[in-house]
A and B are shown apart, each in its own frame.
Chain A
Amino acid sequence: DSGVTQTPKHLITATGQRVTLRCSPRSGDLSVYWYQQSLDQGLQFLIQYYNGEERAKGNILERFSAQQFPDLHSELNLSSLELGDSALYFCASSVAGVGPSSGNTIYFGEGSWLTVV
């Protein structure tokens, strides 16, 4: 158990709909990351939040948005869903560390399987 909790584990929804994926980071971790894993794109970084603020943005579509709340949990909102959005969405977390020797291990949750039909 990584300590990162994601809900829901599985979700089936129709095209055009909107869903929200939720993530609780490990206790003490200030950074939350969202990744998308699909067969054709592999693992893609979407966005990072650090202590409530957006820190980095990757290949996140405009139809997608995220936020991190004061209690450090995060939500990823996916709207106007398309068939191609079907994927495994991971949340990950880490403590705020500096330098390569401080560990800075990034732990992943079990993922949320999204199927758009």
Chain B
Amino acid sequence: AQKITQTQPGMFVQEKEAVTLDCTYDTSDQSYGLFWYKQPSSGEMIFLIYQGSYDEQNATEGRYSLNFQKARKSANLVISASQLGDSAMYFCAMREFSSNTGKLIFGQGTTLQVKP
């Protein structure tokens, strides 16, 4: 069954340091996509980065990069040079393309706090 697991309920990081948020997934599909979203305390869901299962290169978007290890079924988010504004809840999500729908399965989220 499709599932997303985020094992870190909460994380702390010092400002300007890098932090890795863990995500593992379970799917029997060969064709899928992995997403990371940021949810600040104000509630909106902000798209950060996307990785397709056939993408050979790890995705990067500015200070965000996705460490995609297909054999281990992990898709960890790396935030470099953390900023105070990075304090938020972060969700990992997966979409299976065999279903021909856009349904996303979300993990439980990781709360990140950046310390000054």
Chain A interface (Cβ within 8 Å of chain B)?
Answer: 2, 31, 33, 35, 42-43, 45, 48, 55-56, 58, 88, 90, 92, 94, 98-111, 113
Listed in ascending order, the chain B residues whose CB lies under 8 Å from chain A are 31-33, 35, 37, 42-47, 50, 52-55, 91, 93, 95, 97, 99-106, 108-109
- B43, B97, B102: the one contacting A99 at CB < 8 Å is B97
Give the nearest-CB partner of B33 in chain A.
A100
Instruction: Determine the distance from Cα of A88 to Cα of B45 in the docked complex, in whole angstroms.
Output: 11
B37 and A111 contact, CB distance less than 8 A: no
State whether B45 touches A108 (Cβ < 8 A).
Answer: yes
By Cβ-Cβ distance, the 10 closest A-B pairs, closest first, are A100-B52, A56-B101, A108-B45, A43-B106, A110-B44, A101-B52, A100-B33, A100-B53, A45-B103, A100-B31
Contacts of A92 in B (CB 8 A): 45, 102, 104
A43 partner, pick from B42, B55, B91, beta carbons under 8 A = B91
Q: Are B95 and A104 in contact (CB under 8 A)?
A: yes
Instruction: Name the A residues within 8 Å of B102 (CB-CB).
Output: 31, 33, 48, 55-56, 92, 94, 104, 106
> A56, B99: Cβ atoms under 8 Å?
yes
Contacts A2-B47, A42-B109; A100 near B54 (Cβ below 8 A): yes
Chain B residues with CB under 8 A of A56: 99, 101-103
Kindly provide the distance from the CB of B54 to the nearest chain A CB, expressed in whole angstroms: 5
Nearest A-chain residue to B32, judged by Cβ: A100
Partner of A42, one of B43, B53, B95, B106: B106
Chain A nearest CB, measured from B62 CB (Å): 15
Counting chain A CB atoms within 10 Å of each CB, which of B47, B95, B102, B104 scores highest? B102
A108 touches B109 (CB 8 A): no
Q: Assess A111 versus B47: contact at CB under 8 Å? Given A99-B31, A100-B52, A106-B102.
A: no
Are B32 and A48 in touch, CB under 8 angstroms?
no
Closest to B45 in A: A108
Q: Which interface residue of A102, A106, A108, A110 has the most chain B CB atoms within 10 A?
A: A106
**Are the C-beta atoms of B109 and A101 separated by less than 8 Å?**
no
Q: Which residues of A contact B55 (CB under 8 A)?
A: 100-101
Nearest A residue (CB) for B50: A105
List B contacts of A100 (CB < 8 A). 31-33, 52-55, 97
